[in-house]
Each structure stands twice: as structure tokens, then as C-alpha cells.
């Protein structure tokens, strides 16, 4: 049997981060989390060989989610990234510019997010 996919979830809202981590653990993912962009980038560097997918909020302290996505996509172009956001009029344009594979606006349904993650993992 293959190992469960490893997901890194980055969100600065404790409730969101906690809910996402709990949900993905229940769905048999190996879950890592960070509450800001800088910690997220450090984790990506440490786990680069075993990470399967990243889910990041766009608005984060220290380094924005958009910057995280840009850096990840430059260094690891094949690592899928889902951007999640509850901010602004056209956040998806920023995330798309940074090359996020998918943008989901909050509030979204957890099964929809997990299904999207599964689809990206199949590619």
C-alpha cells in the first residue's frame, strides 16, 4: 500500500488551520501545518522531497501566500498548490499570476477542497 499523501496547510486563522488539518487527517493525509508564510517556506524546504501538495491562504503574516506560491512554483514547478482566500474582489487573479494550480474562495466546503486536492494529486 502506498503512503498517504503529504499535505502542507498554511493559514494564519487558527480555527481554519485546525479545521483543515483535522479534516485532512480524517481523510488519511499526512498533514503538516504553518500559521504564516515564513514558517510555511521553511517547512517546504525541509520537506521538499516528500511533500505532495500545498494548501495556502493568500493573506498571511510575514510573507504573503502569493509570495509563497511564487517561490514554490519557481523552485518546484510540479508541486501542486491550492490557494484559499476570503479576501478582496479579485484574489484569484493574484493567485493565478503566482501560478497557483487552483483558487478556492472561502467559505468553501471541506469535501470540495479535499476532492480538488485529490484531483491535483492524480495529475
Cβ atoms 64, 49 nearer than 8 A: no
Q: Per-residue pLDDT averaged across 60-72, rounded?
A: 94
Q: What domains are there in the chain, each with its CATH number?
A: 6-122 (3.40.50.2300)
Q: Are strands 6-10 and 53-57 parallel, antiparallel or unpaired?
A: parallel
69: pLDDT confidence band, cut at 50, 70 and 90? very high
Could you count the other beta carbons within 10 Å of the beta carbon of residue 93? 11
DSSP string, 51-106: --EEEEESS-SSS-HHHHHHHHHHH-TTS-EEEEE--SS-HHHHHHHTT-SEEEES
Q: Per-residue pLDDT averaged across 13-28, rounded?
A: 97
Over residues 71-99, the pLDDT tens digits come to 999 999 999 999 998 866 665 677 777 89
| Mean pLDDT value across the chain | 92
Cβ atoms 53, 120 nearer than 8 A: yes
Cβ atoms 29, 55 nearer than 8 A: no
Q: How many percent of the chain have pLDDT more than 70?
A: 94
Amino acid at each position: 500500500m502506498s503512503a498517504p499523501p503529504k499535505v502542507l496547510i498554511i493559514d494564519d486563522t487558527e480555527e481554519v488551520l485546525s479545521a483543515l488539518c483535522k479534516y485532512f487527517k480524517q481523510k488519511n493525509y499526512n498533514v503538516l501545518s504553518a500559521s504564516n508564510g515564513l514558517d510555511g517556506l521553511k517547512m517546504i524546504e525541509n520537506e521538499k522531497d516528500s511533500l505532495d501538495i500545498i494548501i495556502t491562504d493568500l493573506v498571511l503574516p510575514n510573507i504573503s501566500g502569493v509570495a509563497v506560491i511564487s517561490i514554490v512554483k519557481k523552485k518546484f514547478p510540479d508541486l501542486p498548490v491550492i490557494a484559499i482566500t476570503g479576501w478582496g474582489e479579485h484574489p484569484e487573479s493574484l493567485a493565478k499570476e503566482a501560478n497557483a494550480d487552483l483558487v478556492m474562495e472561502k467559505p468553501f466546503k471541506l469535501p470540495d477542497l479535499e476532492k480538488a486536492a485529490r484531483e491535483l494529486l492524480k495529475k
